[in-house]
Every structure is written in C-alpha cells, then in structure tokens.
C-alpha cells in the first residue's frame, strides 16, 4: 500500500470545498498552492488515499482557510458579517437597529460591531454611529439611536470587527417605512424613513 494525498479547494469563492476533483496530488507532507488571487476566500482540504486501490479516507477536518483582501493582505482572522439586519423608526424620532450574529467555522470571532447610520442613498463608513460589544453565545443584538433625528431617509449598516480589522460587507437592500412599521431583511443594509 502506498499513501498519497489529494488536496481539494473551493476555488477561492468562499463556498464549500469542491470534492469532485483535487487541485493537486502529492506524496509529500506539504505543498505550495498559489499565487492566491485578490479578494478571495480559500479553503483547502487534504485527504489521504491508497494509490493502489484508489480508496480515499473521508475526513473533513484536515482543512485550512486563507483569505486575501482586495489590497493583497491576508485577512483570514476577520469575522463573518452580521445577518438579519432590522431597522425601525421609534417614538421620538429615533430608530432601533437589530441584527443576528452566529460565528462561522474558519472565521475569527468579533470583538464587536460598528453601526453606521447615514442619510441619503449610501452609507458613510467613515463615521461610526455606535459600537456594540460581542458577547460569546449571544445571537441577537440591538442598538438604539435616540431621536429626534431630522425627517429624512436613513440607511444603516452593521459590520463586525476584531484586531485583524473590520469585515467589509456592503450589500445594499433598502426599504422605506413609516414610524410605526418594522421592516425585516436578510441583507446587511436597510433603509428607514424617519418622520417628525
């Protein structure tokens, strides 16, 4: 029996590892894969197999993740983005922001969340409205932005951060609501209309 290794990957798209065909086969205990592209989220999985019979073991634990930012800097330890963002206008002309956070395998844990609230059609990520700490085991989070805010259309976004940096989710989903309606969306950006 001769042992070799198949190395599988997810093609840098951040999705699951593609087990349909290996990226490479080696008899060594290490290998070099690359160069890795900009803005890629790469996961690699190694499985041993018998070169005579072709039988391959079925482990899913021998994995490594390497994430490369748009600037070419490795940022594997960044946390994943918050989900299920909600925004509602409240009495007094303020608003309530809510979101859910569940850690994802292979991603770093956040230190907290930065809330960005802007008027108009885009988010100003240069101005942080509030910072909310991460609590291990807690799924739901909220942030009260007290009023009165000027009557306008407001957009909100929430990004998780840690010592590696701030994750950069910027998917936009917008909806207009009045002060008595709560809107729920699964995307990281949502709009509320605050009325005086």
The more confidently predicted of residues 191 and 123 is 123
Say yes or no to pLDDT of 56 above 90.
yes
Closest CA to 101 of 149, 67, 133, 68: 133
Consecutive H or E run containing 25: strand 24-26
pLDDT tens digit sequence for 95-105: 889 999 999 87
Could you count the other beta carbons within 10 Å of the beta carbon of residue 179?
Answer: 19
Q: Tell me the whole-structure pTM to 2 decimals.
A: 0.69
pLDDT more than 70, % of the chain: 87
| 191 beta partners | 155
Asked whether residue 149 carries a pLDDT value surpassing 80, the answer given is no
Least confident of 44-48, 84-88, 91-95, 119-123: 91-95
Cβ 6 vs Cβ 22: under 8 Å: yes
Are residues 115 and 152 in contact, defined by beta-carbon separation less than 8 angstroms? no
Average pLDDT over residues 100-122: 89
| pLDDT at site 84 | 92
What tens digit of pLDDT does each residue of 150-170 get? 788 888 999 999 998 898 887
* pLDDT band (50, 70, 90) for residue 171: low
183, 28, 27: which is closest to 95 by C-alpha? Answer: 183
- Which helix (H) or strand (E) element contains residue 181? none
């Amino acid at each position: 029996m001769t042992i070799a290794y198949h190395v599988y990957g997810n093609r840098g798209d951040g999705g699951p590892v593609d087990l349909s065909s290996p990226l490479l086969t080696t008899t060594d205990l290490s290998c070099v894969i690359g160069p890795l592209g900009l803005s890629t989220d790469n996961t690699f999985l190694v499985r041993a197999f018998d070169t005579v019979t072709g039988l391959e073991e079925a482990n899913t634990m021998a994995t490594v993740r390497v994430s490369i930012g748009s600037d070419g800097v490795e940022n594997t330890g960044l946390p994943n983005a918050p989900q299920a963002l909600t925004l509602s206008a409240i009495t007094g002309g303020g608003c309530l922001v809510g979101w859910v956070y569940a850690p994802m395998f292979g991603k770093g844990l956040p230190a907290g969340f930065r809330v960005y609230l802007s008027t108009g059609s885009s988010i100003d990520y240069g101005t942080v409205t509030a910072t909310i700490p991460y609590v291990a085991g807690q799924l739901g989070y909220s942030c009260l932005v007290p009023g009165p805010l000027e009557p306008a259309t407001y957009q909100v976004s929430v990004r998780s951060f840690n010592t590696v940096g701030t994750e950069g989710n910027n998917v936009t989903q917008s909806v207009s609501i009045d002060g008595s309606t709560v809107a729920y969306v699964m995307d990281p950006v949502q709009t509320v209309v605050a009325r005086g």
